[in-house]
C-alpha cells in the first residue's frame, strides 16, 4: 500500500514538473517558417546607452548590449561621439527632436513594444512600432536594394531565412539618427544586418551587426532578447512624441 502511494506521489510530482517547464517548441506557419507574429518588446537600458551605465536620476542603470564590450570608433569619430554626449539633452534626435529612432534603435526605443505581421509564403514581413506608429517592410521576395542611395529614416530592408533565423539586410539610411541617448552615431553609409532567431514561443534572440567604415574601425554587434507580450488583449497603444525638456528625464 505504502509503495503504491509513493509511486503515485512520485508520478504526480513528475507530471507537475513537466507542466511547469516552458515550451521549447518554436511555432510555425503553414510554410514551415517560424511564426514571429505577435507583439514583442526589448527590456533593457539600450536606449539610454548601449554600453554599461549607472543609474541616473530618471534613467536606470543597465549592462552593455555590445558584444565586443566597446564600440570601435575611428579617432575622429570618437571625438564627435564625445561632443554628441556632452550635448545629448538638446541633440538626441529621438528624445530632443522626436525624429524616428532609426535602425536598430527603433527596436528598443524607450522600451516601447512593436508588432510583427507575417503570412505564409508572403513577399514581405510588416513590422509596426508603437513609437510614432512607425512601420517597416522587410521584403522577403528576393529583390535587391534599389540602385543609388536614398536617405530614409528606417532604411531599405531586404530579408531572407537562414534556417530558423530571419536575416534582415538594411541600407539607405540618412545620417540623422543615433543608436542611443549617449550619442553613439553613424553616417549615411550605415549597413545594418539584423538576425531574429526564435528561442521558443515567447523569446527571440536578436543580434545586430553594425558596419560603417566612415565611423568605425570594424563592424560591431548588439545582442538583445525580445520578449513576447502575453497579457490578455494586449495591443499597441498611441504614442505621440512631442518636444519638451528631456533634461528632466535624461540627466
**d(Cα 11, Cα 120) in Å, to the nearest integer?**
41
0.85 exceeded by pTM: yes
- Low-confidence stretches of the chain (pLDDT < 70) are 1-23, 243-251
C-beta of residue 84 within 8 angstroms of C-beta of residue 96? no
Domains along the chain with CATH numbers: 30-248 (2.40.128.20)
Contact, 239 vs 213, CB < 8 A? no
What pLDDT shows up at residue 55?
Answer: 93
User: In angstroms, what is the C-alpha Rg of the chain?
Assistant: 21
The string of pLDDT tens digits covering residues 125-177 is 999 999 998 999 999 999 999 999 999 999 999 999 999 999 999 999 999 99
The CA angle 224-157-233, to the nearest 5 degrees, is 55
Amino acid at each position: 500500500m505504502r509503495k503504491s502511494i509513493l509511486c503515485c506521489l512520485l508520478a504526480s510530482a513528475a507530471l507537475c514538473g513537466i507542466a511547469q517547464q516552458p515550451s521549447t517548441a518554436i511555432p510555425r506557419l503553414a510554410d514551415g517558417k517560424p511564426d514571429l507574429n505577435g507583439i514583442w518588446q526589448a527590456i533593457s537600458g539600450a536606449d539610454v546607452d548601449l554600453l554599461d551605465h549607472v543609474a541616473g536620476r530618471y534613467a536606470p542603470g543597465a549592462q552593455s548590449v555590445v558584444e565586443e564590450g566597446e564600440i570601435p570608433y575611428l579617432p575622429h569619430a570618437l571625438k564627435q561621439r564625445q561632443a554628441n554626449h556632452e550635448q545629448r539633452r538638446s541633440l538626441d534626435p529621438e528624445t530632443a527632436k522626436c525624429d524616428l529612432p532609426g535602425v536598430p534603435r527603433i527596436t528598443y526605443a524607450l522600451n516601447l513594444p512593436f508588432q510583427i505581421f507575417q503570412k505564409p509564403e508572403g513577399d514581405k514581413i510588416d513590422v509596426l512600432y508603437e513609437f510614432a506608429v512607425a512601420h517597416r517592410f522587410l521584403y522577403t521576395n528576393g529583390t535587391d536594394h534599389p540602385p543609388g542611395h536614398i536617405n530614409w529614416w528606417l532604411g531599405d530592408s531586404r530579408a531572407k531565412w537562414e534556417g530558423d533565423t530571419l536575416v534582415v539586410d538594411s541600407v539607405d539610411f540618412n545620417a540623422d539618427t543615433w543608436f542611443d541617448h549617449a550619442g553613439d552615431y553613424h553616417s549615411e553609409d550605415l549597413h545594418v544586418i539584423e538576425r531574429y532567431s526564435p528561442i521558443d514561443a515567447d523569446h527571440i534572440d536578436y543580434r545586430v551587426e553594425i558596419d560603417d567604415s566612415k565611423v568605425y574601425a570594424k563592424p560591431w554587434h548588439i545582442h538583445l532578447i525580445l520578449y513576447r507580450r502575453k497579457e490578455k488583449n494586449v495591443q499597441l497603444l498611441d504614442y505621440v512624441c512631442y518636444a519638451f525638456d528631456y533634461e528632466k528625464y535624461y540627466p
